[in-house]
Amino acid sequence: MPQTPAEPTPAGPTLRATARHGAARMAVLCLLALAGAGAALALPAALGRALDLLLTSGDAVNGWSLLSAALLCGQAALGAATTVLTASADARAAAWLRGRLLRRLLAAGPGAADRFPHGDLVTRAGGNAVHAGAAPAALAAAVAAAVTPAGAVVALVLTDPRLALVFLAGLPLLALLLRAFARSAGDAFADYQRCQADIAGRLVDALRGARTIAAAGTERAERRRILAPLPGLGAHGHRMWRVTARATARAALLTPLLTLSVVATGGLLLAAGDLSVGGLLAVARYAALAAGIGLFVGHLNRLVRARAAARRVGEVLAVPPPRYGARTLPADGPGRLEFRGVTARRGGREVLRGLDLVVPGGTTVALVGRSGAGKSLLAALAGRLTEPDGGGILLDGVPLADLDRNALRGAVGYAFERPALLGGTLAGAIGLGPGPAPPPRARVEAAAVAARADGFVRMLPDGYATRCADVPLSGGELQRLGLARAFAHGGRLLILDDATSSLDTVTELHVTRALAAHSAARTRLIVAHRAGSAARADLVAWLDDGRIRALGPHRELWRRADYRALWAGEQVAADA
């Protein structure tokens, strides 16, 4: 069963990688933010000087007033540019994170996707990537939000140190407020994301089983199951709002008090003749800017969300991709497959236990066993779609882990119970493979003929050029296209994981014959659920209790009552 990692992954590596990717845009944002902060800090001084000149000389239009107007216009322009660039940087960073997450999942293989519920992966690649991608712009905004109050405090010190001391007296309270907010908001948002992912996972499971739900008439029960975590989601959402509202309210209460204290002190200095009227105006503006550190709550909220989201994205990025070697297979190898003491666990259960199996080169081996015996797991291990927990697997004497990636994928072909049609058109889906170029059209059509798919493909208006998304296919037609894809690429080992389960008996017989007559694969491993499929194989490997219970021709194993019990209820007299 899918499961998330037990230990949370630190968000730092993901955030640093995102910042490095958007370093240029982040640098420009920081420059814009610093320029805006500089304009904001210069404006009070310019306004104060302009006011003093107006009061002393009566000249309303002077250099300081013109500078003030220029600073106001500059602030507006810088704000607009920052808004546009922030939106662009956020979108680009989110897209880059999604692409990186997708590449890691595809590189790590099916085993990586199995670690996470599918709905959970959707939320991580969706909203979580958006929040994490906003980190660079949020950091740039936070830098500006911190620089402006710091610069305002410096301006107060230069004006009169007593003004700065009055403001700094209340600064520890603001620091405690921000620290408490960061801690509480981070926990609340992480809980909200986990609950959101739980609902998404349940919804994806329901969509996958929509036909079963409709046939059973359990729509209401399923709706209740999907929405069961909704009260928890609401509780976490309300908790986030309460944390933000509490911090904002406290900041809104504290910052005016600090501003009034500074302005009152400035008034006393004005009365004492130590400060001009214009200077008092500048002091009032600087006090407001310095108290703006309370508005840092909004920027901190974005950073907290980005950090929590980056942790969830980082958990997927931390899944290690399989390591490949540099070896290739011998050119004249027969396709001999060996399992040596292979152990594999799934969901905490040891499915395969020290399994030994030799599939002779050039033979067809049917893998049989009761449901849950590990047949599909063994088939996945045979082509390194997943990794064993112990032991080794060799193809023509070369460990699979030592093979070059292209050599491995070119040597092993797969056909599945429910193949995915990728490649755009039906011809592209059949020709999809590891090579640099698709196989010739003649080979694609010959593979479709061997898989008994050519007939229904040619009946379509556009034939092999039909788009995959435009044609409804039955389960049997889908499986025949998957078999055609496996036939088209050959390789020395072909693995069929229940790839004929939806075929009728006659079609399966033709496909089985085509395996030997038309497939370029030298060795074939078939997960069989029908006695007829097992009977047509050269050998049958009977999987039971995590090991190979017996290996031999079907007709010899059929003499055993316990083997015949595997096929109980099936009309197998003719096949036997």
| Average pLDDT score, the chain | 81
pLDDT in tens, 268-297: 888 888 888 888 888 888 777 776 665 566
What percent of the chain clears pLDDT 70, i.e. is strictly above it?
A: 88
CA-closest candidate to residue 109, choices 431, 384, 472, 483: 384
The type of residue at 334 is P
| Residue 452 lies inside a defined structural domain of this protein | no
Q: What does the pLDDT look like over 49-88, one tens digit per residue?
A: 888 887 777 666 678 888 888 988 988 898 888 888 888 8
476 found inside a domain: no
- 427 vs 445: CA distance, rounded Å: 8
- Examine the domain organization and report whether 382 and 243 are in the same domain: no
Indicate if 241 and 147 belong to the same structural domain.
yes
From 253, 285, 317, give the residue that closes a domain.
Answer: 317
* Statement to judge: residues 304 and 350 lie in one domain: no
Strand 412-416 relative to strand 493-497: parallel, antiparallel, unpaired?
A: parallel
Check residue 295 and give its pLDDT.
Answer: 59
Last-in-domain residue among 282, 317, 352:
317
Tell me: the pLDDT tens digits for 218-267?
788 888 888 888 888 888 888 877 777 766 666 666 667 777 777 788 78
Pair (281, 356) in one structural domain: no
Does 51 reside within a domain? Answer: yes
Q: Residue 158's domain is classified under what CATH number?
A: 1.20.1560.10
Long-range contacts formed by 416-421: CB under 8 A, 24+ apart? 416/482, 416/497, 416/498, 416/499, 417/479, 417/497, 417/498, 417/499, 417/501, 417/502, 418/475, 418/478, 419/478, 419/479, 419/481, 419/482, 419/485, 419/499, 421/468, 421/473, 421/478, 421/481
b/e for 69-81, b at 16 or more Cβ within 10 A? eebeebbeebeee
Query: What is the residue range of 19's domain?
Result: 12-317
- Strand-pair category, 398-399 with 412-416: unpaired
Quote the number of domains for the chain: 2
- 28 with 164, same domain? yes
The pLDDT of residue 571: 45
Q: What is the pLDDT of residues 469-493, one digit of tens each?
A: 888 888 888 888 888 888 887 778 9
- For residue 525, the domain's CATH number is 3.40.50.300
**Cβ atoms 530, 513 nearer than 8 A:** no
Cα dihedral across residues 110, 115, 116, 117: positive or negative: positive
State whether 341 and 310 are in the same domain: no
The H or E element containing residue 34 is helix 23-57
**pLDDT number for residue 136:** 84
Sign of CA dihedral 86, 87, 92, 95: positive
At 439 the pLDDT is 82
How much is the pLDDT for 403? 93
d(CA 421, CA 64): 70
**Is the predicted pLDDT of residue 496 greater than 50, yes or no?**
yes
Last residue of a domain, one of 283, 317, 351: 317
Instruction: Provide the pLDDT confidence category of residue 498 given band limits of 50, 70 and 90.
Output: confident
Instruction: Please tell me the predicted confidence (pLDDT) of residue 276.
Output: 82
Same domain, 85 and 20: yes
Q: Does residue 526 sit within a domain?
A: yes
In this predicted structure, what is the pLDDT of residue 576? 44
Give me the amino acid identity at 469: A
pLDDT grade for 5, boundaries at 50, 70 and 90 = very low
Spatial contact of 433 and 443, defined as CB atoms under 8 Å apart:
no
* Same-domain pairing of 378 and 254: no
Please state which of the ranges 102-106, 505-509, 547-551 shows the lowest mean pLDDT: 505-509
Least confident of 5-19, 158-172, 455-469, 546-560: 5-19
Report whether pLDDT(331) > 50.
yes
Whether 426 and 464 have beta carbons less than 8 Å apart is answered as: yes
Write out pLDDT tens, residues 141-179.
777 777 887 888 888 888 888 887 877 776 676 666 666
Quote the CA–CA distance of 148 and 143 in Å, as a whole number. Answer: 9
Q: Can you tell me the mean pLDDT for 462-474?
A: 84
Q: Please indicate, yes or no, if residue 552 is contained in any of the structural domains.
A: yes
Is the per-residue pLDDT at 555 higher than 90?
yes
Position 363 pLDDT exceeds 70: yes
Q: Are residues 208 and 286 in the same domain?
A: yes
pLDDT at 211 > cutoff 80: no
HSE toward the beta carbon, residue 128, CA cutoff 13 A = 33
pLDDT of amino acid 573: 43
Kindly state whether residue 47 falls inside one of the protein's structural domains: yes
- Higher-confidence residue: 180 or 308? 308
- Looking at the fold, whether 268 and 368 belong to one and the same domain comes out as no
One domain for residues 245 and 355: no
Higher per-residue confidence, 310 vs 110: 310
pLDDT: is 372 or 295 the higher one? 372
- Please give the pLDDT value at position 359: 93
Query: Which residue would you say has higher pLDDT here, 433 or 395?
Result: 395
pLDDT in tens, 520-533: 667 889 998 888 88
Tens-place pLDDT, residues 390-420: 999 999 999 999 999 888 988 898 888 888 8
Residue 316 pLDDT > 70: yes
Domain-located, residue 113: yes
Asked, for residue 264, whether it belongs to a domain, the answer is yes
Q: Are residues 196 and 128 in the same domain?
A: yes
C-beta of residue 528 within 8 angstroms of C-beta of residue 537:
yes
